[in-house]
Amino acid sequence: MLEIIFLGTGGGRFATITQKRRTGGIRIISEKINIHVDPGPGALIYSLEMGLDPQKVKAIFVSHSHLDHVNDAEPLIEAMSEGTTKRRGVLVAPRSVLRGNDVCESSISKYHQAMPERVIEVTPGDSFEVDGVNVTVCKAVHSDPDAVGFRFETKDFGSFAYMPDSEYFSDVSKFYSKLRLLILSVLRPSGQPWKGHMTTDDAIKIIEETRPEMVLITHFGMQMILKGPEREAELIEEETGVPTRAATDGMRILLGKDIVISGKVRREKDLSSFLG
């Protein structure tokens, strides 16, 4: 089995500074895979709290250079490199994170970029392999112009993708179609648009064009939290006919023959019962 763990389902400034929803990102674990995606504030602490050893991380993926996606990347890089004693692991990130751009300064220091064994600077359309997983870099349209999403193709568990902060764009199906699971960062509820970010209305359009087997929405801002992500997920499912769930802090998804959702997180030492 492959496990996807939500170390946080909050996003945006106010959810981040209040921690109404945690902002630790997503951990992807199987017998061979150990990836942390978008380690925002609290990623290190929440990993330890959940019994997910940060020193076992093999790759860190960052979608763009905003604090709620990258804040804890540096301490996780130190953990991945065994306290900086070994050049170990892979760091995957766009230009804005590694070198900065006209909008954002770099958000991971050169000092920390020297710690992984491999650093991959990515743009949409790139593809590469990490621990037997084929990764395709996907388009996103956000206030950080270098923002990207990630599509993961596995031999045993099929394909799934993570779309970070982004508004709807016309060629979305080129990057996010034919998936078992699509994880969407839906910051705001229906009827409350914000340029460069996803609302429930955007999510409906994206799902109608990509038609995944299942959708999980996450990365909720305060307006979404107050409105109720579960209600918005129900609206999405009613409009699209695609099974849609609102992620919760600590939720885990088991991806095997079926997609199984549970709210309880097992510690890594207990994963042997369903891995392999």
Annotate 86-100 with b (16+ C-beta within 10 A) or e (fewer).
eebbbbbbbbbbbbe
Domain-located, residue 199: yes
Tell me: pLDDT of 266 over 60.
no
Q: Say how many CA atoms lie within 13 Å of 191 toward its Cβ.
A: 3
Domain-located, residue 248: yes
Question: 110-153, pLDDT tens digit by residue?
Answer: 999 999 999 999 999 999 999 999 999 999 999 999 999 999 99
Question: 58-93, pLDDT tens digit by residue?
Answer: 999 999 999 999 999 999 999 999 999 999 999 999
Domain-located, residue 215: yes
Domain-located, residue 29: yes
Domain-located, residue 276: no
Beta strands in 155-267 (DSSP E): 158-163, 181-188, 198-199, 214-218, 244-246, 252-255, 259-262
Q: What is the pLDDT of residue 262?
A: 83
**Tokens, residue 162:** 């993570």
**Phi and psi of 112, rounded to 5°?**
-75, -30
Counting the structural domains of the chain, the total is 1
Tell me: pLDDT of 194 over 50.
yes
β-pair partners for 183: 162, 216
67 near 36, Cβ under 8 Å? no
Cα(151)–Cα(173) distance, rounded to whole angstroms?
A: 12
Domain-located, residue 273: no
Q: What is the pLDDT of residue 169?
A: 97
SS3 content of the chain, % helix, strand, coil (to 5): 30, 30, 40
Q: What is the pLDDT of residue 263?
A: 64
Positive or negative: CA dihedral 42, 47, 53, 59: negative
Question: 5-52, pLDDT tens digit by residue?
Answer: 999 999 999 999 999 999 999 999 999 999 999 999 999 999 999 999
Q: What is the pLDDT of residue 265?
A: 41
Structural domain boundaries, residue 8:
2-263
**Sheet containing 259-262, strands listed edge to edge, beginning at the edge strand earlier in sequence:** 118-122, 90-94, 59-61, 34-37, 23-29, 2-8, 252-255, 259-262
Secondary structure of residue 109 in the 3-state scheme: coil
> pLDDT category, 192, cuts 50, 70, 90?
very high
**What's the mean pLDDT when you consider all of the chain?**
94
Domain-located, residue 122: yes
CATH number of the domain residue 187 falls in: 3.60.15.10
